[in-house]
Structure 1
Amino acid sequence: MLKGLLRLAPAAALLIMLGATAHAEDGRRVFTGTLGKMPIVMELETASAENISGRYFYQKYRKDLALHGIKNGEMLVLDEGEQSYGDKLPLPKIQLHIEPNRLWGDWSNDEGKMLKIELVEAKQPVIPASTLPYLVRLHESEPYEYRRLQGLQLKQGKTETFNGYSLQWWGEPQTKLTIFEIVSGYTPEARERINQVLMGRLWQEVVGYYECFAGSGGAFYIQTIKPLLITPAVISVDVSTEVNCGGPHPDNSEGPINLDAKTGNSLTLEDVLWVGRGSPLHYEEGNNEQSSGAFNAYSEYRSKEFAPWLVGQLRELYPDQMLPGSDENCAYNEEDHWQFPTWYFTENGIKLGPNFSHAEAPCAYVDWSVLPYNVVKQHPGGVALQLP
């Protein structure tokens, strides 16, 4: 069932009827319509009449154009785009009359070109039960981004075998982002849940790609996907990105996917390894539905129990690398760098990556910081796993 869904690119099968909804809680509203003859989608944040902000994209191109301006009576007066530092070039103007659930007006530039704009507030339809979980969350929380995916279709790529499992690769042609699904091994139910997570990550990266290109000259977004370990018990996939979304320097990051192969559930480090008192915590970074109290407990555990323990283990295992002053630029012996490490499964143990500031980013890329499974198994986490 999932393979068919992927060929239809959930977008083609599921997003044709999609709409968006007003975000009453933060003033965001989503509109659809035309600028000239071109279909567009627009999001406006209207909580402050003196500081209207927003963005829109042409459905043909999908890349954002920034909006900012004011509400003047029953009119929105907006500038399109951003001025580069030191520039004072005239920006295109958008003036929109405000009516209940409708905006209409004109787009114009300094060359005298003028185009009509017609917009209506987008509505939120019911979506099919087969929609990928990530797209369901996007549908509820970010209808503008959900709209952006409308019409995108995945292209089937190469097949390969990894650790005895068959992988089918898929790519999104416009962004050139890719990921694979697992098409052999596991029960059909577990495989479907695993692939839902993997494909959800692909669509998440597509959203990130277009957000990165929001009016920023010279932006780029390069992603590398690599299977790391696939066993009957666990799955690890490396997701590395190099991006420049307008800052002075590019950002490099790793965001591995770690899954319980039997259930398809994402794993936190505390699900696998627990060195604290009491029952293991389960805190998912990036999950905004968790309470501030849960984060405080998680942060306290990581700083006061986990990081000191991990640094002690690494000093015993890798004394040369962890020796103070062994690297004049990277103080690997300091606990702060190991509170929130990246991690994934390898054949020999859990690979943990230290955390450094942007200026010290090269320090994060080390190949020696593996915690062997014979150590990990002495400190089991909250999920029963058959580790290698």
Structure 2
Amino acid sequence: MKKIILCFLLFKCVFAFCKNEELYLEGTIAKSKIYLSIYVYGSDAEVPNTNAVYFYQNSLKDINLEGTKRNDIFTLIVKHGDTIHEKFILKKVGTNFEGTWNNAQGKSFPVKLSPIDFTNYKSTLTDVYYIDEKFDLIKLKFLEFKKEKTTFYKNKAIDWYSEKHCNVPFFRLGNNFTPNNKNKVNAVLEKIHIKNVIWQLDCSTDNNYNTGGGISFETDFTFLNNNLLGFKIFSDYYCGGAYPDTGTNGYLIDLNTGKNYEIDHIIAFDKSVTTEKESNFDSWVKYRQKYFAPKLYAIINNEQHFVKPKDTDEDSCDMTNLDIWWGDETWIYTEKGIEFTPSFPHAMRACEETFLVPFEKLKKYKNPKFKYNLN
């Protein structure tokens, strides 16, 4: 899922790159509280030259708009296909905006907006994001979680929670885990839940309203002992673009400390391994290319005996391509070993295949800093 999120955010960053004016506003349509961001990316002579996103405080779901800016007048529409569902006509008066909102059923209401004071929306949970998205800071303030049910995994209680504004169930550790386990791990699980909720609320397209179900999440437990909890999250989503997409992300969390391990915390094929991908990206790439991909491939190929396809077309399922497929894999920590799925582009998703590497074959490559046995 992490790769899906990064692709989704990359789209948003590319979109934002071309803007030359950015406005964040809050106010009302009649008596309904809304938040509106406007991105002006072209001159007054261009049509359209403006994109926008807004959401209601009572729903938090993004609604996409496009339109024009002419002098200090903005015309923004919600258009699905050939149908215009909503229209804002806003005039800038000083730093504020006033105007009207109309819908396809003929309703019309006054709109009053002013710049957002983001000091009112500070949060200690901003580290759940991959980028600093200002609208997400606002949404954090209004999230509401509710316990729905309790299930059991290996006789351990698992409490499942929902969020009021969308369909994103997720779990916390239940009452027969130790108090320390719950204190350390549930804080991490809450951040994962918030991240997925925000992703869902942001999942808007130009063709349909965001119903809070544009992304489905399925969580399965893969490992549990006295020290470690392993699980995976499968996501199926469509947030605009040419095609829907899917992905899986594996997690391994230390029950004693709450640490969320990455694969390089667990396996080290060379002493040059780095777990600081963001701050030491060049070293991470070098390690992946020189050590991680070749060694992982060799271990799996010893059983699979991959053969390079005779068809040299770029869309062929070539498992022998170390530079592309094996350096950016999905991994899942299970009871029998670690599952690895080499990554393929969306158009070649059918090529993806999962390979289980038993712990016995990985023990000699255990990262010395990983304090638990591979079993």
Q: Which amino acid aligns with 1:170?
A: Y
Contact 1:165 1:230 in 2 (8 A): no
Q: Residue 346 of structure 2: which of 355, 358, 369 is its match?
A: 358
Q: 1:185 to 1:383 in 2, by over 3 A?
A: farther
Task: Note closer, same or farther for the CA distance 1:172–1:90 as it changes in structure 2 (3 Å cut).
Answer: closer
**1:154-213: per-residue Cα shift (whole Å, max 9, x none)?**
231221222343211112254221111113566534432311221211121111112223
Query: Are positions 1:252 and 2:246 aligned together?
Result: yes
Q: 1:38–1:365: structure 2 CA closer, same or farther, 3 Å change rule? A: farther
Question: What is the rounded CA distance, in whole Å, between the counterparts of 2:32 and 2:153 in structure 1?
Answer: 45
| Contact 1:49-1:70 within 8 A present in 2 as well | no
Kindly state the Cα deviation for residue 150 of structure 1 after the two structures are TM-superposed.
Answer: 4.6
Given the superposition, is the C-alpha separation of residues 110 and 159 from structure 1 closer, same or farther in structure 2, using an over 3 Å criterion?
closer
Q: CA deviation at 1:269?
A: 1.2
Aligned-partner SS, 2:338:
strand
Q: Show structure 2 runs of 5+ residues with no match.
A: 1-18
Match of 2:331 in 1: 343
**Secondary structure class of the residue paired with 2:109:** strand
Percent identity reads 21
Question: In structure 2, what is the equivalent of residue 57 of structure 1?
Answer: 55
Scaled by the length of structure 2, the TM-score of the pair is: 0.79
* Residue 207, structure 1, aligned to residue 195, structure 2: no
Distance (Å, rounded) in 1 between the aligned partners of 2:226 and 2:88: 57
SS of match in other structure, 1:306: helix
Cα deviation, 1:322-368, whole Å, max 9, x if unaligned, reads 344599963333322211111121112111111111122133243xx
Structure 1 position 81 matched with structure 2 position 78: yes
- Per-residue deviation at 1:379? 1.5
Alignment of 1:197-236 (within 5 A): 197-217=188-208, 220-236=214-230
Deviation of 1:224 after TM superposition, in Å, equals 0.5
Quote the offset at 1:66 in angstroms. 2.1
Of Structure 1 and Structure 2, the greater strand share is in: 2
Partners in 2 of 1:96 and 1:45 — Cα distance? Answer: 14
Q: Superposed, which structure 2 residues align to 1:256-275 within 5 Å? A: 256-275=250-269
Compute the displacement of 1:147 (Å).
2.4
Amino acid paired to 1:76 = I
Cα 1:383–1:186 change in 2 (3 A) is farther
Structure 2 counterpart of 1:144, from 117, 135, 138: 135
**Equivalents in 2 of 1:127, 1:269: separation in Å?**
35
Q: Cα offset for 1:112? A: 6.1
User: Which deviates the most, 51-60 or 346-355?
Assistant: 51-60
Which residue is 1:12 aligned to?
A: none
Root-mean-square deviation over aligned CA pairs: 3.3
Deviations 1:215-273, CA, capped at 9 Å, x for gaps: 43387321101121122332221110111223443211112222233321221111111
Residues of 1 paired with 2:161 and 2:29: CA distance? 33
- Runs (5+) with no aligned partner, structure 1: 1-24, 285-289
Which residue in the other structure is 2:319 paired with?
332
